[in-house]
Every structure is written in structure tokens, then in C-alpha cells.
Structure 1
Amino acid sequence: MKQVEEALHQLHARDKEKQARDMAEAHKEAMNRKLDQSESQGPPQAFAKVNSISPGSPASIAGLQVDDEIVEFGSVNTQNFQSLHNIGSVVQHSEGPLNVTVIRSGEKHQLRLVPTRWAGKGLLGCNIIPLQR
């Protein structure tokens, strides 16, 4: 009986060691895969571009500039962008500042744009066009 008990203890000890090795290997693989994905994705892709800004407008105050490529506009991003109506809807339903991420001269910039009524047309004071990829 004692031999059976010792054999079971050894069996469980080996099983625990194997589980620990397997978990460590799985973690290492997951980390390598995550690293590979982030390297292969590269910089985020823009879906739209600013082609005009009115002086004194909310867009101008937020720091948007002509030729900024938009990567994220509130909840709109490359994955869910379908048309400029997506941006219009976000602007119409926003209550407060919107986070806007742009690529300018190859660098990523985070801006806070507050859609508001101002002396000019619209709530932003800029013109955005979709990028053709």
C-alpha cells in the first residue's frame, strides 16, 4: 500500500511539473504572438483627412490642422468607419469633448475637440474627407 501511495505522489508531482512547464510555454507563445501582431500592424491606419479649417472654429481651437489624417474620431475608428455619416452622428450625439487621434507628419497626436455652435457653419468648423485606400 505504501508503494502505491508513493507512486501516486510521484505521479502527481510529475504532473504538476509538466503543467507548470506547459503554462510557462503557453504564456511565452502568447507573448511572442502578441509582439508579432503589434509589429505587423505598424502604425494605425487613417480613414479620413482634414482638408480645411476655419479660423476661430472649434476644430482650430482643438489644434486640428489641414492634412491631419484621422485615425480615431470619438468612437469612430478604422475598424468601424463606413462613411462620413459616422463622424456626423458622433458629433450630433456628443455631450462634451471628443478624443480625436491624428497622424501629422508621421507622428501620432491626441486632441480634444468640443463640438459647439460658433460664428461659422456647423459644430466643428472643418471639412473632413474620406481617405481612399
Structure 2
Amino acid sequence: MSHHSKAKQLLQQRDELDEKVKELLLVLETNNSTMDSPLVDAEGYPLNTIDVYAVRHARHDLICLRNDRAQWTEKIVEEMEQDEEKMGESAPIEEKPVHRTSNEPFVKVSSVVELSPADVGGFRKEDLIIQYGNLHHGNFKNMQQVAEITKEYENKTIRVTVIRDHRPVRLEISPKKWSGPGLLGCNIVPIAGANV
């Protein structure tokens, strides 16, 4: 499917971008600089121990690349969603696709019990959740909503999208009673001022 390769292509381009980011961070490191360390001494003179020009350039490029990266991620998620819609997976007809306004995570998985429904469904510790059923950053208010959706979907399937290693991963989680506590067997916690 030509479409499928588009998402692959985007992922590849994003990997190349990550390589550039690494190189630029090296420039900063070589000059003992960070994104916001001073380039001038107390008197306002350029520090002669660093290549001010190179550092300024690297910083500028890094800011641009970070913005580009966020856009790539948006595009990749969109492409993957289109792939899914095209393949028309065995999605129940009445389930409308949820259009997220952002790919910002709003909660994260802080722990998963082995062999629990969460574990079987593919949740991993540190997964950042950007969509949980119809919940996303745009309409999430409190943890109560997560609990309600989990209950509502007992013995059914919740579609979940998480960011793992900077990549969107789609999961299908089926909450159900099992030998452990709760219907999922994992801890989901809010993210304070999340920025990925």
C-alpha cells in the first residue's frame, strides 16, 4: 500500500532529523554550552573559549528542528490513522473516529501488573497516553473520566494511543475482572504540565 509507505517515509525522515539534532547537541557540548548557557562574559564580551557563532547557529537550528519534529509526529499519527481507516479494521460501525485536537499526552502509565488485562493489552510502564477511548488532552479534566471509561468498557475493547519512544503506538485494551485488583491492573496517573 503506497499509503502505508508514507507513514514509513515520515518516520524515516524524522529519524534523520533526530540524527541532525544529535549532531547539533554535540556542537553545543564541544563548546561546553547548553541551549541557554551564556555566550558572553560578565562584561558582555563573547567568551573566547567557545565558538559563539557555531553555538548560536546550533541553537537556532535546534529550535527549528524541535518544531519540525512536533509537526512530523502530528503527520505520522494522521497517516497511521488514515491507514487504519482505509483498512477498516473490525471496528464496530457505531464507533466514530475521535478527532484529537492535539497529540499531547494527558496521563501516563506508572506501573503495570504482569498478566493483568493492561499487560495483555500491551500497556507498558512509562507509556504516555494521548488517547483513551474518546478522551484526549483537549477534553480531559480529571482521573474520574478515565475510571468511568474503564468501567463502561468492561469486557469490551477500548482503543488507546500511547507515545512510546517518541512514537505513537496503538493498543486495544480490554478491561475485565481478573485475579488482581481493578479491571486493568495498572496505575494511570495525570501528567503535570506534560511536554513531550
Asked if residue 112 in structure 1 is aligned to residue 172 in structure 2, the reply is yes
Q: Distance in 1 between matches of 2:179 and 2:73?
A: 41
Aligned partner of residue 50 in structure 1, secondary structure: strand
Output the TM-score relative to the length of structure 2: 0.46
Q: How big is each residue's C-alpha offset from its partner over 1:11-53, in whole Å with a ceiling of 9 and x where there is no partner?
A: xxxxxxxxxxxxxxxxxxxxxxxxxxx9499571000110000
Please, which of 50, 55, 78 is the counterpart of residue 137 of structure 2?
A: 78
Please, which of 99, 114, 124 is the counterpart of residue 65 of structure 1?
A: 124
Q: Distance in 2 between matches of 1:115 and 1:101?
A: 16
8 Å Cα contact 2:73-2:167 kept in structure 1:
no
Please, which of 111, 114, 138 is the counterpart of residue 52 of structure 1?
A: 111
TM-superposed CA distance for 1:94, in Å, is 1.6
Q: Distance in 2 between matches of 1:40 and 1:63?
A: 25
Structure 1 unaligned segments of length 5 or more: list them.
1-37
Q: Distance in 2 between matches of 1:91 and 1:128?
A: 11
TM-superposed CA distance for 1:69, in Å, is 0.1
TM-superposed CA distance for 1:75, in Å, is 1.1
Output the TM-score relative to the length of structure 1: 0.68
Cα distance change of structure 1 residues 106 and 41 upon mapping to structure 2, 3 Å threshold:
closer
Superposed, 1:1-133 pairs within 5 Å as 39=71, 42=74, 44-94=103-153, 96-133=156-193
Aligned alpha-carbon RMSD (Å): 2.0
Aligned partner of residue 127 in structure 1, secondary structure: strand
Q: Distance in 2 between matches of 1:67 and 1:41?
A: 19
TM-superposed CA distance for 1:93, in Å, is 1.1
Higher Rg:
1
Cα distance change of structure 1 residues 126 and 109 upon mapping to structure 2, 3 Å threshold:
same
Q: Name whichever structure is richer in strand by fraction.
A: 1
Q: Distance in 2 between matches of 1:59 and 1:67?
A: 13
Q: Distance in 2 between matches of 1:41 and 1:120?
A: 36
Letter in 1 for 2:151: Q
Identity among equivalent pairs (%): 32
